[in-house]
């Protein structure tokens, strides 16, 4: 048996584990070695040769990994280690055939790890679950569609969920939301509900648009970059090119992160021979502030307070250049007085306590901010996945507004999105919030009555599956059961569903909790040639900077039996009798995806004007963005200052409980969400296992723990549920006292459904209150 075939169990890692600090930089030879390894393991040489040279280039394939912008003037290789891994994973030569499912019952497969399941390769034919034998069996496409159509016909529309993971194209996503709405529900949760929903809520309310205001060119013009809770080296490595260039121009990069992340410290550019051969690498952050977990509201309050204090002093001196951009504040914002009042009222000792940073450090950072004519504020999950996630985002807006750092060159707010088209899906109507969808327009175009009641978000789906009110689940990609909170409760409740349908490329754990009727519908990946009636089709995606790119698959499909996502959605829609009254040309759309883009343009005439003509614009074509032009579509018509509810983004009552630590769930450099490529977290020096918990040495000492000890974590909650993850090896780490870190998705077992951000309801995966339990006999 090979190392990866070993039946290690769903929550276990692999053997040969070791942990030691990583002294290298991000990028460099480490990343080249990691790639050679994964291409060998997956047998994806063809994918490497056909796809990678065209990845993220005009006319080529938009990477299936992260959503970072794709420049017009691309590098020779416009991909990173992780983008190449994602391509290799999709381009694997391994396939799962019917024989595999005949050999393994679903119950048996539940003992496999995430890595083992996906590592088996691509699903190639539609499968239906047979309850008697507990096995998936092949089923002809037409029969699968007919059966799914019949099941959907029997279910109450509002009891069915249409989930989307952020990879599906604009074309597939548009058709999917339309199908759900004609069917009769706004139950359209997406991965964004677990991710940047705090952004969508926080930015919409304060600057009038739920996405960032920054474009790639701003990185070339900026005078300072402030970086909060985003791990660029692992999660959006192509962005390191912009950071490297900025760093070399002497632009300060000021980072706030409880962990010292390698990719935020040093970068060795694999595309620069001098860096690859020499010892040279570029420092990324010029200043690194290791703040307390959940300490950003306090830290940014400190920055703003320092700015205001200096402003007041200068005003008192009669000095000519004010610290704040008073003209901008007057003309473009509202709520400044209340915010200034809040800043004056908030005391430095409280700021220091909650941020874990000194007043002096915050004043220094404020000075850098003040001296820069334009500043970019970049952030990720370290802000959004907290109970106070929306307040975190609002605080960054406050900071930006104080010096007019939105809507001018080199400035703006930059949420770094996750999945490659997660931002775009919202732009074409994937949302559970009816007020954000163009319902009137859809009704006009397709002659049906759109549902008006609010749909379920991710947390709402979990609640509904657990209480039995959700009866059916259709997933366009993703691994919902694994990515969502409260794994055990969800896994226990899931099989009671009447229908589960997964449109997917590989086998994952969500597929192993079949509803009473359950189907796996295997689809083409974006890197593959998608021919309809012998004509190759293109799809499109929107990146983190609101630019839309065409994407054309380059590699022969993994199997001739695969259907495209667009075709699968059309066939499901056609199979549900209830949808037939609406006037939708489902089949025509399937034959020519340009017609879907016409329909998107007809739905959003301004946003997507001349969509097909602009599909291949180098660098992508930008969608309209109000805040970039200082147009604020908010209630007041102005950008809004806001006052946070608390100084901490954590659940305040869990802070002072004796023995409670705050757990942040993290990604390694060797995974894409629940897809675990391997067990090497090179940057954090962990190898061969994911069963670890990173802890501060002082906490270890207090708990009487030594390096390598085995512990369990238990959620500190008194709701009667026992949530526990065991056999975690203690790794001493440079992490602030009182908090610890472990990997997602293994630790989602510990995350209660109700522990989520206010307003956005993003599961608060960055601050789970836990207790450390020693495991008897395991030391
Ligand atoms: N290789 C790879 N790339 C990916 C993904 C992947 O899994 N693998 N996932 C994709 C997806 S869907 C997403 S959403 C993005 C996620 O990318 P990120 O936004 O980088 O998310 P995380 O890896 O969860 O890490 C968040 C960072 O926040 C820090 N942090 C935690 N708590 C706090 C806090 O309270 N304050 C501050 N300031 N920082 C904090 C952590 O130390 C960590 O460095 O990446 C995308 N790209
Ligand atoms: N505790 C904790 N929980 C978290 C997070 C965290 O940081 N901590 N992060 C959250 C975040 S940011 C996100 S975005 C979610 C991710 O949640 P999801 O988006 O649901 O999960 P993924 O792991 O990205 O989905 C991977 C699966 O997508 C399928 N897939 C891959 N490519 C394709 C394709 O081209 N088409 C189709 N149809 N299917 C495909 C494969 O089956 C693969 O197994 O998880 C969230 N959960
Ligand atoms: Mo995400």
CB contact at 8 A, 551 and 169:
yes
Residues 425 and 528 in one domain: yes
Please identify, by atom number, the ligand 1 atom nearest to the C-alpha of residue 292: 35
CB contact at 8 A, 207 and 200:
no
pLDDT at 8: 38
Eight-class DSSP state of 73: S
Please give the tally of structural domains in the chain: 3
Residues 247 and 326 in one domain: yes
Residues 351 and 492 in one domain: no
Centre of ligand 1 to C-alpha 418, Å, is 9
Sequence-separated (6 or more) residues with CB below 8 Å from residue 253: 224, 225, 227, 243, 246, 247, 284, 285, 286, 287
Enumerate the β-bridge partners of residue 500: 473, 518
**Ligand that lies nearest to the alpha carbon of residue 765, given by its number in the listed order:** 2
Please identify, by atom number, the ligand 2 atom nearest to the C-alpha of residue 166: 19
Centre of ligand 2 to C-alpha 702, Å, is 37
Q: Is residue 88 part of a domain?
A: no
Sequence-separated (6 or more) residues with CB below 8 Å from residue 701: none
CB contact at 8 A, 180 and 527:
no
Residue 57: CA atoms inside 13 Å, Cβ hemisphere, count?
14
Sequence-separated (6 or more) residues with CB below 8 Å from residue 277: none
Question: Is beta strand 517-522 parallel, antiparallel or unpaired with respect to 499-504?
Answer: parallel
Mutate-to-test residue for ligand 2 from 479, 527, 563, 690, highest number of ligand atoms within 8 A of CB: 479
Residue nearest to ligand 1 atom 10, measured at CA = 418
CB contact at 8 A, 736 and 697:
no
User: To 10 degrees, what angle do helices 81-90 and 28-42 make?
Assistant: 0
Helix boundaries (H) for 415-509: 422-427, 439-446, 458-467, 480-483, 487-493
**Ligand that lies nearest to the alpha carbon of residue 487, given by its number in the listed order:** 2
Domain of 135 in residue numbering reads as 95-191+421-442+455-592+614-618
Residue nearest to ligand 1 atom 30, measured at CA = 382
**d(Cα 644, Cα 586) in Å, to the nearest integer?**
47
How does DSSP assign 682-695, residue by residue? GGGTEES-S-EEEE
H-helix or E-strand containing 368?
A: helix 359-371
Please identify, by atom number, the ligand 1 atom nearest to the C-alpha of residue 670: 1
- Indicate which CATH number applies to the domain containing 307: 3.40.228.10
Centre of ligand 1 to C-alpha 666, Å, is 7
Q: In Å, what is the CA distance from 119 to each residue of 38, 95, 273?
A: 11, 9, 33
| Residue of 540, 530, 339 lying closest to 420 (CA atoms) | 540
Residues 410 and 436 in one domain: no
**d(Cα 112, Cα 482) in Å, to the nearest integer?**
13
H-helix or E-strand containing 615?
A: none
Residues 412 and 426 in one domain: no
Please identify, by atom number, the ligand 1 atom nearest to the C-alpha of residue 232: 20
**Ligand that lies nearest to the alpha carbon of residue 190, given by its number in the listed order:** 2
Residue 527: phi, psi to the nearest 5?
A: -80, -10
Q: Which residues of 200-213 are buried (b: 16+ CB within 10 A; e: fewer)?
A: bbbbebbbbbbbbb
pTM of the complete model: 0.95
Please identify, by atom number, the ligand 1 atom nearest to the C-alpha of residue 231: 20
Q: What does the block give as tokens for 711?
A: 């512990």
CB contact at 8 A, 429 and 603:
yes
Residues 123 and 147 in one domain: yes
H-helix or E-strand containing 400?
A: helix 389-402
CB contact at 8 A, 680 and 440:
no
Centre of ligand 2 to C-alpha 334, Å, is 38
Eight-class DSSP state of 387: T
CB contact at 8 A, 489 and 753:
yes
- Indicate which CATH number applies to the domain containing 732: 2.40.40.20
- For the Cβ of 564 lying below 6 angstroms from any atom of ligand 2, the answer is no
- For the Cβ of 193 lying below 6 angstroms from any atom of ligand 2, the answer is no
- For the Cβ of 294 lying below 6 angstroms from any atom of ligand 1, the answer is yes
Q: What does the block give as tokens for 186?
A: 């706004």
Residue 439: phi, psi to the nearest 5?
A: -65, -40
**d(Cα 322, Cα 331) in Å, to the nearest integer?**
16
**d(Cα 190, Cα 478) in Å, to the nearest integer?**
9
Q: Is residue 2 part of a domain?
A: no
Residues 407 and 504 in one domain: no
Enumerate the β-bridge partners of residue 555: 528
User: To 10 degrees, what angle do helices 593-603 and 439-446 make?
Assistant: 130
What is the maximum alpha-carbon separation in the chain? 84
- Indicate which CATH number applies to the domain containing 510: 3.40.50.740
Centre of ligand 1 to C-alpha 316, Å, is 43
Helix boundaries (H) for 216-256: 216-221, 232-235, 239-248
Please identify, by atom number, the ligand 2 atom nearest to the C-alpha of residue 165: 19
pLDDT at 270: 64
CB contact at 8 A, 159 and 153:
no
Radius of gyration of the chain (CA): 25
CB contact at 8 A, 770 and 715:
yes
Residues 136 and 227 in one domain: no
- For the Cβ of 640 lying below 6 angstroms from any atom of ligand 2, the answer is no
Residues 347 and 244 in one domain: yes
- For the Cβ of 478 lying below 6 angstroms from any atom of ligand 1, the answer is no
Q: Is residue 638 part of a domain?
A: no
Mutate-to-test residue for ligand 1 from 193, 257, 377, highest number of ligand atoms within 8 A of CB: 257
Q: Is residue 74 part of a domain?
A: no
CB contact at 8 A, 233 and 205:
no
- For the Cβ of 665 lying below 6 angstroms from any atom of ligand 1, the answer is no
What is the mean pLDDT of each successive set of 10 residues along the chain, which is 779 residues long?
37 52 66 75 79 82 89 79 87 93 98 96 98 98 98 98 98 98 98 98 98 96 97 90 92 95 74 57 88 97 98 83 95 98 98 97 98 98 98 98 98 96 96 97 98 98 98 98 98 98 98 98 97 96 96 95 98 95 96 98 97 96 96 97 97 81 94 95 91 97 96 95 96 94 97 97 97 69
Centre of ligand 2 to C-alpha 481, Å, is 10
Mutate-to-test residue for ligand 1 from 64, 65, 227, 231, highest number of ligand atoms within 8 A of CB: 231
Question: Is beta strand 135-138 parallel, antiparallel or unpaired with respect to 127-130?
Answer: antiparallel
Q: Is residue 765 part of a domain?
A: yes
**d(Cα 559, Cα 628) in Å, to the nearest integer?**
45
pLDDT at 7: 35
Please identify, by atom number, the ligand 1 atom nearest to the C-alpha of residue 82: 1
CB contact at 8 A, 125 and 138:
yes
Mutate-to-test residue for ligand 1 from 354, 418, 458, 739, highest number of ligand atoms within 8 A of CB: 418
Mutate-to-test residue for ligand 1 from 118, 212, 381, highest number of ligand atoms within 8 A of CB: 381
Centre of ligand 3 to C-alpha 422, Å, is 8
Q: Is residue 636 part of a domain?
A: no
**d(Cα 82, Cα 62) in Å, to the nearest integer?**
14
Eight-class DSSP state of 381: H
CB contact at 8 A, 602 and 438:
no
pLDDT at 23: 63
Residues 411 and 430 in one domain: no
**d(Cα 739, Cα 649) in Å, to the nearest integer?**
14
CB contact at 8 A, 60 and 554:
yes
Eight-class DSSP state of 125: S
Sequence-separated (6 or more) residues with CB below 8 Å from residue 310: 323, 366, 370
- For the Cβ of 66 lying below 6 angstroms from any atom of ligand 2, the answer is no
Centre of ligand 1 to C-alpha 417, Å, is 10
Sign of CA dihedral 208, 209, 211, 212: negative
Q: Is residue 36 part of a domain?
A: no
Residues 260 and 381 in one domain: yes
Residues with CB in 5 Å of ion ligand 3: 195, 418
Q: Is residue 12 part of a domain?
A: no
- For the Cβ of 114 lying below 6 angstroms from any atom of ligand 2, the answer is no
Centre of ligand 3 to C-alpha 418, Å, is 4
Residues 285 and 230 in one domain: yes
Enumerate the β-bridge partners of residue 664: 741
**d(Cα 719, Cα 397) in Å, to the nearest integer?**
35
């Amino acid at each position: 048996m090979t190392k990866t075939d070993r039946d290690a169990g769903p929550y276990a890692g692999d053997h040969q584990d070791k942990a030691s600090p990583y002294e290298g930089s991000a990028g460099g030879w480490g990343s080249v070695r990691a790639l050679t390894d994964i291409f060998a393991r997956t047998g994806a040489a063809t994918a490497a040769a056909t796809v990678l040279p065209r990845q993220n280039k005009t006319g080529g394939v938009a990477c299936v990994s992260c959503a970072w912008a794709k420049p017009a003037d691309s590098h020779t290789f416009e991909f990173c280690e992780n983008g190449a891994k994602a391509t290799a994973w999709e381009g694997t030569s391994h396939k799962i055939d019917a024989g595999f499912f005949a050999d393994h019952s679903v119950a048996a497969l539940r003992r496999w790890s995430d890595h083992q399941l996906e590592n088996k390769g691509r699903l190639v034919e539609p499968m239906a679950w047979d309850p008697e034998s507990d096995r998936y069996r092949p089923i002809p496409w037409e029969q699968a569609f007919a059966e799914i159509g019949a099941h959907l016909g029997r279910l109450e529309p509002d009891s069915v969920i249409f989930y989307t993971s952020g990879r599906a194209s604009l074309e597939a996503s548009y058709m999917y939301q339309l199908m759900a709405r004609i069917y009769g529900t706004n139950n359209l949760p997406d991965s964004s509900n677990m991710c940047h929903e705090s952004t969508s809520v926080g930015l919409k309310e304060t600057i009038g648009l739920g996405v960032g205001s920054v474009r790639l060119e701003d990185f070339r013009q900026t005078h300072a970059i402030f970086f909060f809770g985003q791990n660029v080296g692992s999660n959006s490595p192509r962005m390191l090119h912009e950071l490297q260039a900025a760093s070399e121009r002497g632009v300060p990069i000021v980072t706030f992160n409880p962990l010292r992340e390698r990719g935020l410290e040093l970068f060795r550019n694999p595309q620069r021979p001098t860096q690859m051969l020499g010892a040279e690498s570029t420092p990324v952050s010029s200043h690194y502030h290791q703040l307390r977990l959940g300490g950003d509201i306090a830290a940014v309050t400190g920055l703003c307070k320092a700015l205001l204090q200096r402003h007041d002093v200068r005003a008192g001196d009669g000095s000519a250049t004010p610290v704040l951009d008073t003209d901008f504040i007057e003309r473009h914002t509202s709520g400044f007085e209340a915010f200034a009042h809040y800043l004056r009222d908030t005391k430095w000792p409280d700021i220091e306590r909650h941020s874990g940073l000194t007043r002096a450090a915050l004043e220094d950072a404020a000075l850098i901010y003040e001296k820069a004519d334009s500043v970019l504020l970049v952030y990720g999950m370290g802000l959004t996945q907290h109970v106070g996630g929306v307040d975190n985002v609002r605080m960054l807006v406050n900071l930006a507004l104080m010096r007019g750092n939105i809507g001018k060159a080199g400035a703006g707010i930059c949420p770094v999105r996750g999945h490659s088209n997660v931002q775009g899906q919202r732009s074409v109507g994937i949302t559970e919030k009816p007020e954000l969808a163009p319902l009137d327009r859809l009704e006009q175009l397709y002659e049906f009555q759109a549902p008006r009641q609010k749909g379920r978000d991710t947390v709402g789906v979990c609640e509904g599956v657990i209480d039995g009110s959700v009866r059916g689940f259709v997933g366009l990609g993703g691994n919902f059961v694994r990515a969502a909170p409260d794994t055990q409760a969800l896994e226990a409740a899931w099989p009671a569903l009447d229908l589960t349908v997964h449109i997917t490329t590989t086998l994952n754990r969500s597929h192993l909790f079949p509803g009473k009727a359950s189907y796996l519908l295997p689809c083409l990946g974006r890197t593959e040639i998608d021919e309809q009636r012998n004509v190759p089709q293109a799809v499109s995606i929107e990146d983190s900077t609101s630019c839309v790119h065409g994407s054309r698959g380059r590699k022969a499909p993994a199997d001739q039996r695969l259907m495209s996502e667009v075709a699968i959605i059309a066939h499901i829609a056609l199979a549900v009798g209830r949808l037939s009254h609406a006037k939708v040309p489902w089949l025509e759309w399937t034959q020519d995806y340009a017609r879907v883009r016409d329909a998107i343009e007809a739905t959003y005439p301004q946003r997507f004007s001349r969509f097909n003509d602009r599909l291949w614009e180098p660098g992508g074509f930008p969608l309209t963005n109000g805040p970039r032009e200082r147009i604020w579509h908010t209630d007041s018509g102005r950008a809004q200052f806001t006052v946070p509810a608390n100084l901490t983004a954590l659940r305040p009552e869990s802070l002072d409980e004796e023995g409670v630590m705050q757990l942040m769930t993290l990604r390694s450099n060797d995974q894409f969400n629940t897809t675990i490529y391997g067990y090497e977290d090179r940057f954090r020096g962990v190898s061969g296992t994911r069963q670890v918990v990173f802890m501060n040495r002082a906490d270890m000492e207090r708990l009487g723990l030594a390096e390598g000890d085995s512990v369990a974590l238990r959620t500190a909650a008194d709701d009667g549920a026992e949530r526990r993850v065991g056999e975690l090896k203690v790794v001493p780490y440079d992490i602030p006292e009182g908090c610890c870190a472990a990997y997602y998705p293994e630790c989602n077992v510990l995350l209660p459904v109700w522990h989520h951000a206010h307003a956005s309801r993003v599961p608060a995966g960055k601050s789970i209150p836990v207790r450390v339990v020693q495991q008897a006999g395991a030391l």
